[in-house]
């Protein structure tokens, strides 16, 4: 008898568990992805429309399917909640969509006792845009650090040369004409450093796809 009830639950989803329809209404309309899991067999009992959209599969295709290795990257025997006893609350995890791509999510898992049986209620929001923004920020910082390292030594040498010229002028070793010539040489060096940096920026912008597109266009124009 229990086995028949379980089969019905898998076919009909959460509607088979909800008598008054209140939970079902919230489940369908809340703007958060929700997946109901049977922890005993790790099968999907139901998904709401937001979860459907994120996973990229129809509800009918997902219900009754095992979650491990399907929408969850964890393999059998390594469920973070039931096997590893990890408490997930607003934790960064990944979910697998229909294309097999891993999508970054912020995930919370709660245990829901219902009619003598426990279910896992997994709720999550897509944080792909936030992760991409973080990755772009890190890439941009890496690019800026690389640029600084490329010009630091030549600039330090030029700074040292300018101080040396100033000392030589004060000591009378250089007259104004000598000093002017040396300064023109150092100015040419600075112009070359600026040109090299601009060339570097343009080359990196073309080759590194992790640089934000707007900044890439700016670098290509400079």
Mind listing the pLDDT tens digit for each residue in 98-145? 999 999 999 999 998 887 889 999 999 999 888 887 777 777 677 777
pLDDT in tens, 14-64: 666 565 567 778 888 889 999 999 999 999 999 999 999 999 999 999 999
Model's pTM, two decimal places?
0.58
35/12 Cα distance (integer angstroms): 14
Q: What is the pLDDT of residues 161-177, one digit of tens each?
A: 778 877 777 787 777 77
For residues 40 and 67, the answer to whether their CB atoms sit within 8 Å is no
DSSP 163-193: HHHHHHHHHTSS-HHHHHHHHHHHHHHHHHH
**Apex CA 172: angle with CA 166 and CA 177, to 5°?**
75
Quick one: pLDDT band at residue 1, thresholds 50, 70, 90? very low
Domain ranges of the chain: 2-126, 131-221
Instruction: Please identify, in words, the CATH class of the domain defined by 2-126.
Output: alpha beta
Q: Give Cβ neighbours of residue 140 (< 8 Å, ≥ 6 apart).
A: 211, 212, 215
Is residue 215 pLDDT above 70, yes or no?
no
């Amino acid at each position: 008898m229990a086995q028949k009830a379980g089969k019905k639950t898998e076919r009909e989803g959460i509607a088979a568990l909800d008598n008054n329809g209140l939970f079902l209404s919230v489940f369908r309309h809340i703007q958060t992805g929700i997946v109901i899991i049977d922890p005993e067999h790790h099968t999907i009992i139901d998904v709401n429309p937001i979860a459907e959209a994120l996973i990229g599969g129809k509800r009918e295709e997902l219900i009754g399917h095992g979650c491990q290795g399907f929408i969850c990257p964890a393999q059998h025997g390594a469920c973070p909640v039931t096997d590893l006893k990890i408490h997930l609350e607003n934790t960064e995890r990944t979910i697998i969509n229909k294309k097999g791509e891993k999508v970054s999510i912020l995930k919370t898992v709660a245990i829901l006792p219902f009619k003598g049986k426990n279910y896992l209620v997994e709720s999550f929001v897509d944080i792909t845009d936030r992760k991409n923004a973080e990755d772009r920020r890190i890439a941009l910082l890496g690019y800026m650090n690389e640029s600084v390292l490329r010009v630091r030594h030549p600039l330090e040498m030029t700074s040292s040369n300018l101080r040396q010229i100033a000392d030589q002028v004060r000591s009378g070793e250089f007259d104004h004409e000598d000093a002017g010539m040396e300064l023109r040489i150092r100015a040419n060096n600075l112009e070359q450093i600026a040109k090299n940096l601009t060339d570097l920026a343009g080359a990196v912008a073309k080759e590194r796809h992790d640089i934000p597109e707007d900044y890439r266009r700016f670098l290509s124009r400079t």
